[in-house]
Structure 1
Amino acid sequence: MNDRAGEGWTRRRALQALSCASTATLLPGCTSRRDPEALTFWATGYEGDYAPHLMTAFSARTGIPVETQSLPGTAAHEKYLTARAGASLPDVMMLPSGWAGEFAMIGAIAPLPDPALAQDTFPGVMRPLTYEGRAFAMPWSVGSQVQFYRRDLLGEVGYDTAPTSWEGWRDLGAKLKRRHPDRYTMLMFLNWWDTLITFAGQAGAYPLRDNDTRGHFRTPAYRHALAFYVSLFADGYAPRVSSNELQDPLAAFAQGWFAIYPNGPTLLTDLHRRTSEIAAGAWGVARMPGPGGPGAVSAINNSIAVSTTTRRPAEAWALARHLTSVSSELRFQQMIGVLPARRSAWRSAQLAGPVLRPFAEQVEQPAMQPTIVEWERIRLEVQIIAERVVRGGLTIDEGLAAMDARVDALLAQRRRLVAAGKIA
């Protein structure tokens, strides 16, 4: 590949070239015509890039070709909605689990034909996949935030592992800041909602009230979580940056610019690929800290759904079963690091290592989160306000009041529908 470096030869281009060579796959940039006999499958991120590798066994067994399309994560929601409006949804699709209720509500995805498809999974995983008492998607992967940490940097100030309490995080931050005044302890992007929502879950805060129709942020638990989050920036332990301000956070982690990087399981794959920058023994994984130790954390899960417009529902559900089988989930874990949603898959020796233990413990203790379709938007709006607090534009109490006001406005239509008895 060295002779193609000047042409921008990347992992995505290599995968695309391999996929375009087959009539059974289709990625953006492919020019081959669509096979009228093929099922279609859409996914985002690494899942979309690597999905063709899971289709070979399915096509060999069933004789059904599958065309896959990898969507940019930032554009996927709009792409799905546009396809729904244009009656051009794929037969099978990957959805972030938080989207399932919305797409079930608008009639875009079909309910599971067999209740057994919702079994063999972890606590809380099916809640966001259920709408009006029926399951509409099959769990595909599970993963909550954990803290990746630099063993050497923590060892410099007497820590063998990352602390799992808020007090421990602050103590670590103070010690590292004294030793390295020009560096930071942790990286938490201000435009990513994950860490604040994690802290809120650890504090036992539930963000909504009145049958999930109003904000519930002006509570002691949520104030505690937001105050701790803001204090990490105010005291210089975390930089005030968004994800678009730091081009390569993994390189910064490898160079010791910060010691703790809260992230999900796919970071494991990136770390394994970049051992020339950061050796395998230089980092570790621990559960996220809570007020008194590790607690419940909201997960970032993905699911598989079948379109209501598919003309071949039996074959589409066969593909959904294949993708969510134990063997497929374990293969994807090997390739891209995502963790299986099937509980039985975790009995494999493949997942028995100490690095995955914090993830295994965390998926058994999920935080209670709203399952309403507005929750995705609410998280984004809450984080926008939290960033204003971090940057000094609002006080903590003003921020909490703004969160309640903004969420109340977002849920106005929901309140009207609940009052009219049109939704539960």
Structure 2
Amino acid sequence: QQIPWSAAHEKLLTAYVGDATPDVAQMGNTWIPEFKAVGSLEPLDPFLMRSTIRQSDYFPGIWATNVVDNTVYGVPWYVDTRVMFYRTDLVPKPPRTWTEWVAEMQHVKDLRPNNYAILLPTNEYEQVEILAIGNGATLLNPSGTEGAFHDPHFVQALQFYVDMFRRGYAPVLSNTQVANVYQGFAQGDFAMYITGPWNVGEFRKRLPPTMNGRWMTTPMPAPRADLYPGTSMAGGASLIIFRDSKKKDAAWKLIEFLSEPAQQIRFYELTQDLPAHRDAWKVPAVANDPPLAAFRVQLEHVAPLPRVPEYEQIATDVAEDQEAVVRGRMTIEQMVADLDAKANRTLEKRRWVLARATSR
């Protein structure tokens, strides 16, 4: 059954509650901890032990999104992450470090004082979290039971993010206040934009012909040169088997078939979703597409967000608080304390459950 992505999460959850789950489903890899927590997913380790699917054929950070409590619950189906799209005529040398990044943003401002260097929609949590994980922040403590936003690695990344607004490099706009990203990029309203692989096709389709050859992608800059490329988020979707399936062996055969490089390539041709299997990236249509090269490099340097079911709520809190800081309604110190307090409340039940399990 084909359903819109925006409705998929609710549809799958409703199917589980109503005892009407399919045998196999495509699932956003950030949803896996939640569905595992309610006991709806079939562990896949027994299948993998006798399968042609090998962990080594996949990007480590992407594979990790499918592992919860040392058990595999999904096989990567397609992947995405975030890299930087930039105007090659305004940013002649893509930055590799945060220091170079600041220099390039200042260069753009010197060239075009009335425009901006980068677009960072204030209500999107992804940019802050990419900077944070790239700087070594864990966001939660090792057991996933408390917030770790007071960690200096997170604070330093947040400060770098906020400074981009305070120095006038980024406009204080949410994504609902940006009328047309593609028009703004073409007009030079901003020269850099952190976004995902879906925008490769959108840029080609929506930018005017005069922009041909004037934009490219590059991996995320790192805090220091020895850490390049910087770490980005591990995104995409995975194939899972629901625990209530009566046809688990057949379901696994379907997953094995869809995981073959040839099928991954066919899926890419149909949807432009990036293949999860490394071998599929060797096909000329993918390997020889210049804007995809940065994604291929970046995918070797991605990390999952905390694998607890409550994290999507915590990420929403990050977005709300970061916007308050950028708009001057909250200080960085207040944001860090508020995020830790909110995360600790959100994770209260998790702490209780783990404490009970430990005491048995």
Is 2:53 the counterpart of 1:121? no
Amino acid at match of 1:129: N
User: Residues 53-112 of structure 1: CA distance to partner in whole angstroms, max 9, x if unpaired?
Assistant: xxxxxxxxxxxxxxx312242x43223222221223333322111111211221323222
In the aligned structure 1, how far is the partner of 2:82 from the partner of 2:210?
21
Aligned to 1:370: 306
Aligned to 1:256: 188
Q: What secondary structure is seen at the aligned counterpart in 1 of 2:357?
A: coil
Aligned to 1:336: 271
Aligned to 1:131: 68
Equivalent pairs counted in the alignment come to 351
Amino acid at match of 1:202: G
Aligned to 1:204: 136
Aligned to 1:92: 24
Identity over aligned residues, as a percent? 34
Is 2:124 the counterpart of 1:192? yes
Give runs of aligned pairs for residues 156-305 of structure 1, distance below 5 A: 160-209=92-141, 211-274=143-206, 276-277=208-209, 279-293=211-225, 294-305=229-240
Match for residue 346 of structure 2 among 389, 402, 410: 410
In the aligned structure 2, how far is the partner of 1:421 from the partner of 1:310?
28
Amino acid at match of 1:219: D
C-alpha displacement of 1:416: 1.2
Change (3 A) 1:199 1:413: same
Aligned to 1:323: 258
TM-score (norm: length of structure 1): 0.77
Amino acid at match of 2:63: M
Asked if the contact 1:298/1:367 (under 8 Å) is kept, the reply is yes
Q: What secondary structure is seen at the aligned counterpart in 1 of 2:235?
A: coil
Change (3 A) 1:136 1:181: same
User: Residues 201-239 of structure 1: CA distance to partner in whole angstroms, max 9, x if unpaired?
Assistant: 121111112522111111221111000101111222112
Aligned to 1:359: 295
Is 2:329 the counterpart of 1:393? yes
Is 2:7 the counterpart of 1:71? no
C-alpha displacement of 1:411: 0.8
- Deviating above 4 A after TM superposition, structure 1's stretches of 4 or more consecutive aligned residues are none
In the aligned structure 2, how far is the partner of 1:86 from the partner of 1:415?
28
Asked if the contact 2:116/2:170 (under 8 Å) is kept, the reply is yes
Amino acid at match of 1:350: A
Give runs of aligned pairs for residues 97-116 of structure 1, distance below 5 A: 97-112=29-44, 114-115=47-48, 116=51
Amino acid at match of 1:347: K
Q: Bigger shift: 203-212 or 388-397?
A: 203-212
Change (3 A) 1:355 1:109: same
- The structure with more radius of gyration: 1
Amino acid at match of 2:175: S
Amino acid at match of 1:69: Q
C-alpha displacement of 1:345: 1.7
User: Residues 333-370 of structure 1: CA distance to partner in whole angstroms, max 9, x if unpaired?
Assistant: 23433221112222323332343222222221223642
Aligned to 1:346: 281
In the aligned structure 2, how far is the partner of 1:300 from the partner of 1:166?
23
Q: Mind listing any 5+ residue stretches in structure 2 that lack a counterpart?
A: none
Q: What root-mean-square deviation, in Å, do the aligned CA atoms of Structure 1 and Structure 2 show?
A: 2.3
In the aligned structure 1, how far is the partner of 2:5 from the partner of 2:275?
22
Give runs of aligned pairs for residues 18-57 of structure 1, distance below 5 A: none
C-alpha displacement of 1:247: 3.7
In the aligned structure 2, how far is the partner of 1:368 from the partner of 1:331?
26
C-alpha displacement of 1:403: 1.0
Asked if the contact 2:233/2:304 (under 8 Å) is kept, the reply is yes
Q: What secondary structure is seen at the aligned counterpart in 2 of 1:305?
A: strand
Amino acid at match of 1:262: I
Q: Mind listing any 5+ residue stretches in structure 1 that lack a counterpart?
A: 1-67, 155-159
Change (3 A) 1:106 1:368: closer
User: Residues 2-37 of structure 1: CA distance to partner in whole angstroms, max 9, x if unpaired?
Assistant: xxxxxxxxxxxxxxxxxxxxxxxxxxxxxxxxxxxx
Asked if the contact 2:234/2:305 (under 8 Å) is kept, the reply is no
In the aligned structure 2, how far is the partner of 1:187 from the partner of 1:361?
23
Q: What secondary structure is seen at the aligned counterpart in 1 of 2:27?
A: strand
Change (3 A) 1:72 1:235: same
Amino acid at match of 2:79: V
In the aligned structure 1, how far is the partner of 2:241 from the partner of 2:262?
20
Aligned to 1:153: 90
In the aligned structure 2, how far is the partner of 1:146 from the partner of 1:423?
44
C-alpha displacement of 1:389: 0.9
Q: What secondary structure is seen at the aligned counterpart in 2 of 1:191?
A: coil
Change (3 A) 1:341 1:210: closer
Change (3 A) 1:335 1:255: farther
